[in-house]
Amino acid sequence: MRKRIVIIGGGPGGYVAAIRGAQLGAEVHLVESDRLGGTCLNIGCIPTKTLLHTAELYRIVKNGAKIGLKTDGLRVEWPVLMKRKEAVVNSLVQGVTALLKANKVAVYKGHAVLQDERTVKIDAPTPQTLSADAIILGVGSVPVKPPFPGADLPNVLDSTAALSLPEIPSSLVIIGGGVIGTEFAALYNSLGTKVTVVEMLPEILPAVDGQIVSVIKKDLSSRGVDFLTEARLSEVRDAKKGLTAKVLTGQNQLEINGEYVLVAVGRRPNTENLGLESVGVKTEKGAILVNEHFETNVPGIYAIGDCNAQTMLAHVASAQGIRAVEHALGYRSFYNRKVLPYCIYTSPEVAGVGLTEEQARNQGLSYRTGIFPLAGNGKSIIEHCENGLVKIIADTKYKEILGVHIVGPHATDLIAEGALAISLEATVEELIALIHAHPTISEAVAEAAHAVIGNPIHWPPGVKKDIM
Amino acid sequence: MRKRIVIIGGGPGGYVAAIRGAQLGAEVHLVESDRLGGTCLNIGCIPTKTLLHTAELYRIVKNGAKIGLKTDGLRVEWPVLMKRKEAVVNSLVQGVTALLKANKVAVYKGHAVLQDERTVKIDAPTPQTLSADAIILGVGSVPVKPPFPGADLPNVLDSTAALSLPEIPSSLVIIGGGVIGTEFAALYNSLGTKVTVVEMLPEILPAVDGQIVSVIKKDLSSRGVDFLTEARLSEVRDAKKGLTAKVLTGQNQLEINGEYVLVAVGRRPNTENLGLESVGVKTEKGAILVNEHFETNVPGIYAIGDCNAQTMLAHVASAQGIRAVEHALGYRSFYNRKVLPYCIYTSPEVAGVGLTEEQARNQGLSYRTGIFPLAGNGKSIIEHCENGLVKIIADTKYKEILGVHIVGPHATDLIAEGALAISLEATVEELIALIHAHPTISEAVAEAAHAVIGNPIHWPPGVKKDIM
Amino acid sequence: EGVEKIKITPAARKLAQENGIDYTNLSGTGPGGRITREDIEKAIAGLAPEPAKRE
Ligand SMILES: Cc1cc2nc3c(=O)[nH]c(=O)nc-3n(C[C@H](O)[C@H](O)[C@H](O)COP(=O)(O)OP(=O)(O)OC[C@H]3O[C@@H](n4cnc5c(N)ncnc54)[C@H](O)[C@@H]3O)c2cc1C
Ligand SMILES: Cc1cc2nc3c(=O)[nH]c(=O)nc-3n(C[C@H](O)[C@H](O)[C@H](O)COP(=O)(O)OP(=O)(O)OC[C@H]3O[C@@H](n4cnc5c(N)ncnc54)[C@H](O)[C@@H]3O)c2cc1C
């Protein structure tokens, strides 16, 4: 008997689970109330990276006099870029639609709720119920809306609205210095907008290794992004031109003007109106609780991706989706929660996997670090991007790689090597012994491994490496 | 007693061996007749990649209308780019000089020859002899000069001369479709030169996996590079404007005009006038013969890098240098000749490691391949570069990864993951289980692994993947 | 094709060698059956009964 899997939500968690289920021979039904692809394809990863791609090329080439480029007249045509963003999103959404069809997944348009432990009800446009052997919830997340005075003013934006502005703003205040806030800061700064980032915590990018944060922050600051940390938004008011954000830092009250205020203070699981209570699925602060197979307390009901709030990243949602459906269908499956890479598409890029130094320290581990500054890497000098670094964290005894953190060109692709190293429990010796092609940024990974136990080749002995 | 190591040649083989030897406590002497850094830093990897960096940015942005860039007036300022090339080279050469000094390596300027098995003679400017416990030869290679009529005409260039042309040529005929010829083709094509590549063999890039070659060749062709294969240069003659290259293809005789003719038909070990015969070091066709420790038939004399002609790449020279000096100093050392990545800095980039399909077939191995076209990869679509692919070759029994080949954006950095996979003897299961960050080109590596044993997630089942 | 290949992670190998664990008899729990550090840790703790020899 073919198993019936019903999936609620067509984001990177749900649609990937659907394809994997179909590949394994299940009869798969997928319900999506909005557009296939979810947050990631429509208003998240894909549109932001499409805008960043053009913006960063623009910035690099605009500053290209030193590398032999004459750029009179170079500019960004915002309406064309907006259309391109739509085109990329649409082509990927169509791609997902075609993939689901090719895999014979039945797709339903409508809002779904759990009716009982084995039944899903779709309420629009034509109400209908689907019975299932297993149900996978991939309902994603929505932006947190803090209730400050002025939150409803028209030019107070969330990340979705910030993707579709009528023109490049002259100034922008971003509330929240997490990954999304920082990427928008890089984006609009590159396009010429005056950007101020307001972060409540002592430092931006709290989950990122501290040394990496200081490099990227210094870089963005030198390009004109203002960062206010330990700063709390109290109010937004209409001003003559645009808005005024009132911000408290310690004892001081600052007023920052901006054409727009972008609120990017986090996302919360989208688990209301799903019928969770009626079937008894347990949640905590809105996040659905799951075990290591992403199964909820109700056997046969799984929750994957942003809605379980473990790690709100698209590839993590996809991986959890694959694991959940494989488990539901009785397959043995692998999910290594130690190896969940993250990427930040600033320029230079930031990426990391495994433990940060702060985590290693807080866990009381005995560890060593190795750092290699990209000022010692030929390709980084060629790419005019010498401020980055690679940092490796290894355990003291076996020199096993526990964390790899990169700020530099192509970091988001380079991190795959670090992820593979951690997942295969490689030690620094193996990374040192591995011959890395020249000239590549990846050579710096071997050098950082070298730095864990001795001195890299391309850095003078005894010269401090961690102060850029 | 500290061991004395004398190294002849300050290229990436010799200078890296010197630093490593010093790190391990040896007294190291390095003789270089020309500039430190050798071919790689002065006239090879570094200047070519510096020019390609600007040229590829220029081409991408020049064609940027679709991604929202308005580029009236964008152009390359050749004299500025030439100066930048010098500046990058000089800063890296100074870096090597400083590293050698910081590691207390004694550097001699002059031409060195072997006097006996333990003595090196430097003949310029002040003759002097150095005694050694071990001698490492890292004398590199020089371009092959085929003796066709017209070879000495002023506008017939080698790769060194092609790096310093007075202006961007209007047309260029490149003899030789190897890596160096292909990179120059990409470089000058991007800058607007009409480029024709003449290759004697049936296909360009003979060492690269055939499917990868067809992608990059098609891409370069579509941009206007003409490729003539099974074509033999018979003569170059002065023409009214520039030169005429006479080329035989089968029965046909073609005449191709070009402002310049670049001869890039290979390099040969630079082993003349080194005193090899006098001390009895064996060579074959000029290449110094070595064992697995890169030691010659004369114990204590090593030969690394281009001069042993095993694999003429800078990182291979460095790796061999490290292994040789470690062996000379009595350390155990690792060199995995199955894991020597190569890179081609066209755009999209090409990189590979391990066996090509042709090699696997010729060795009679039982293997399977997995291909993932970048048209199914979101980041490639964002980067407007959907023509690439990732190809994995795995053995049939264990599904162990034997080869990884990539044509696409950032291929040269992505290949590090493939190299680590092969060196750790990873299987396709492990690459599939590894969570790759989204959106990155590296996701395609996991998909290609998936394709070895089943169907990738982001490609419709049953749709042929290898025809682009 | 006589000898079967044993897949073990580098960290697991170090741990096994240091603790005198004969990992040639273990069957690994990693993807593709690779022996992981956790497998060796369990073997050291005597938790995982070593399965029958590979044929
Ligand atoms: C601006 C921005 C940039 C980002 N950039 C990145 C990045 O670069 N890399 C990265 O890894 N992550 C990024 N993320 C995060 C990423 O988008 C999410 O982690 C990912 O989309 C989560 O996938 P999901 O499948 O869990 O949920 P979602 O993608 O949110 O999909 C959930 C889907 O479920 C549907 N749905 C919800 N409830 C119901 C219901 N009751 N019935 C039917 N359908 C329902 C929704 O309409 C939605 O389509 C970004 C997010 C944002 C906002
Ligand atoms: C145009 C071009 C592009 C290239 N691009 C790349 C690339 O992107 N990636 C890559 O990996 N490889 C590339 N290569 C190949 C790379 O440059 C060589 O493989 C590498 O330089 C070899 O290093 P080596 O130390 O063996 O020799 P070399 O770099 O050639 O250095 C040998 C040195 O020895 C000195 N010397 C020779 N004889 C004596 C003597 N008797 N006494 C004293 N000194 C002596 C020479 O002056 C020279 O400095 C490129 C080559 C060229 C020509």
A340 is in an annotated binding site: no
Which of B6, B19, B39 for mutating ligand 2's site (highest number of atoms within 8 Å of CB)?
A: B39
Task: Report the mean per-residue pLDDT for chain C.
Answer: 80
In the 8-state DSSP scheme, what is residue A165? -
- State the pLDDT confidence band at C33, using cuts at 50, 70 and 90: confident
In angstroms, the CA A231 to CA B125 distance is: 66
The shortest C-alpha distance from A102 to chain B (Å) reads 6
The shortest C-alpha distance from A462 to chain B (Å) reads 9
CA separation (Å) from B295 to A200, B10, B26, B302, B326?
Answer: 61, 18, 18, 4, 11
- Asked if the Cβ–Cβ distance from C11 to A334 is below 8 Å, we say no
In angstroms, the CA B432 to CA A343 distance is: 19
B71: nearest CB among A74, A420, A426: A74
- Asked if the Cβ–Cβ distance from C31 to B398 is below 8 Å, we say no
Give the per-residue pLDDT at C54.
Answer: 37
Planar angle of CA A307, A310, A312, nearest 5 degrees = 70
Angle, to 10 degrees, between the axis of helix B179-190 and the axis of helix B45-62? Answer: 40
Give the residue-averaged pLDDT of A113-123.
96
Q: Which residues line ligand 1 (CB under 6 A)?
A: A 8-14, 31-34, 38-40, 44-45, 48, 111-112, 138-141, 159, 180, 270, 274, 305-307, 312-315, 317; B 438
B455 contacts C37 by C-beta, under 8 angstroms: no
- Asked if the Cβ–Cβ distance from A382 to B342 is below 8 Å, we say no
The shortest C-alpha distance from C18 to chain A (Å) reads 10
* Ligand 2: centre distance to CA B46 (Å): 11
Residue ranges in chain B modelled with pLDDT below 70: 464-468
CB atoms within 10 A of CB A93: 18
Ligand nearest to the CA of residue B120, numbered in listed order: 2
Is it the case that residue A446 has pLDDT exceeding 70? Answer: yes
pLDDT per position as a tens digit, A458-468: 999 977 655 43
Q: Whose CA is nearest to atom 34 of ligand 2?
A: B9
- Asked if the Cβ–Cβ distance from C32 to B424 is below 8 Å, we say no
| Selected residues 53-112 of chain B with any CB under 8 Å from a CB in chain A | 53-54, 57-58, 60-61, 64-78, 80-82, 84, 88, 91-92, 95, 98-99, 102-103
**Residue B410 is a catalytic residue:** no
Which tokens in the block code for residue A142?
């929505």
- Using a 6 Å cutoff on CB, does residue B12 contact ligand 2? yes
A123 is in an annotated binding site: no
Give the per-residue pLDDT at A462.
Answer: 77
Q: What are residue B107's DSSP bridge partners? A: B30
* Backbone phi and psi for residue B255, each to the nearest 5 degrees, phi listed first: -120, 120
In angstroms, the CA A434 to CA A437 distance is: 10
Ligand nearest to the CA of residue B264, numbered in listed order: 2
Q: What are residue A113's DSSP bridge partners? A: A121
Q: What are residue A74's DSSP bridge partners? A: B71
A426: nearest CB among C10, C31, C34: C10
Complete DSSP assignment for B48-75 = HHHHHHHHHHHHHHHTGGGGTEEETTEE
- Using a 6 Å cutoff on CB, does residue B178 contact ligand 2? no
* Ligand 1: centre distance to CA A14 (Å): 10
pLDDT per position as a tens digit, A322-346: 999 999 999 988 899 999 999 999 9
In angstroms, the CA A308 to CA B414 distance is: 31
In angstroms, the CA A51 to CA B382 distance is: 9
Is it the case that residue A290 has pLDDT exceeding 70? Answer: yes
Coil, strand or helix: which one is A121? strand
pLDDT per position as a tens digit, B348-386: 999 999 999 999 999 999 999 999 999 999 999 999 998
Q: Whose CA is nearest to atom 51 of ligand 2?
A: B44
CA B418 to chain centre: 17
- State the pLDDT confidence band at A76, using cuts at 50, 70 and 90: very high
In angstroms, the CA A403 to CA A338 distance is: 9
Q: What are residue A267's DSSP bridge partners? A: A143
Share of residues in chain A with pLDDT > 70 (%): 99
For the CA of A315, the nearest atom of ligand 1 = 11
- Using a 6 Å cutoff on CB, does residue B412 contact ligand 2? no
Domains and CATH numbers, chain B: 4-143+268-328 (3.50.50.60), 156-265 (3.50.50.60), 342-453 (3.30.390.30)
Closest alpha carbon to B305 in B5, B4, B15, B3: B15
Closest alpha carbon to A313 in A281, A341, A273: A341
Give the residue-averaged pLDDT of A129-140.
98
- Using a 6 Å cutoff on CB, does residue B13 contact ligand 2? yes
Planar angle of CA A344, A350, A354, nearest 5 degrees = 95
Give the per-residue pLDDT at C3.
Answer: 65
In angstroms, the CA B322 to CA B114 distance is: 21
Give the per-residue pLDDT at A94.
Answer: 98
B3 contacts B300 by C-beta, under 8 angstroms: no
In angstroms, the CA A355 to CA A363 distance is: 10
Does residue B6 sit at the A interface (CB-CB below 8 Å)?
A: no
Give the residue-averaged pLDDT of C2-24.
86
Ligand nearest to the CA of residue A187, numbered in listed order: 1
Give the per-residue pLDDT at B465.
Answer: 57
Is it the case that residue A447 has pLDDT exceeding 70? Answer: yes
B55 contacts B176 by C-beta, under 8 angstroms: no
The ipTM of this complex is 0.95
Is it the case that residue A292 has pLDDT exceeding 70? Answer: yes
A277 contacts B400 by C-beta, under 8 angstroms: no
Which of B40, B88, B263 for mutating ligand 2's site (highest number of atoms within 8 Å of CB)?
A: B40
Coil, strand or helix: which one is A103? coil
Beta strands in A11-118 (DSSP E): 27-32, 69-71, 74-76, 106-109, 112-116
A461 residue type, one letter? P
pLDDT per position as a tens digit, B125-169: 788 999 999 999 999 999 999 999 999 999 999 999 999 999 999
A402 is in an annotated binding site: no
B138 contacts B11 by C-beta, under 8 angstroms: yes
- Give contacts of A439 with chain B, Cβ < 8 Å: 45-46, 49, 314
Give the per-residue pLDDT at A124.
Answer: 75
Give the per-residue pLDDT at B1.
Answer: 79
pTM for this predicted structure: 0.96
pLDDT per position as a tens digit, A142-164: 999 999 999 999 999 999 999 99
Helix (H), strand (E) at residue A257: strand A252-258
Give the per-residue pLDDT at A22.
Answer: 98
In angstroms, the CA B468 to CA B457 distance is: 18
pLDDT per position as a tens digit, A301-313: 999 999 999 999 9
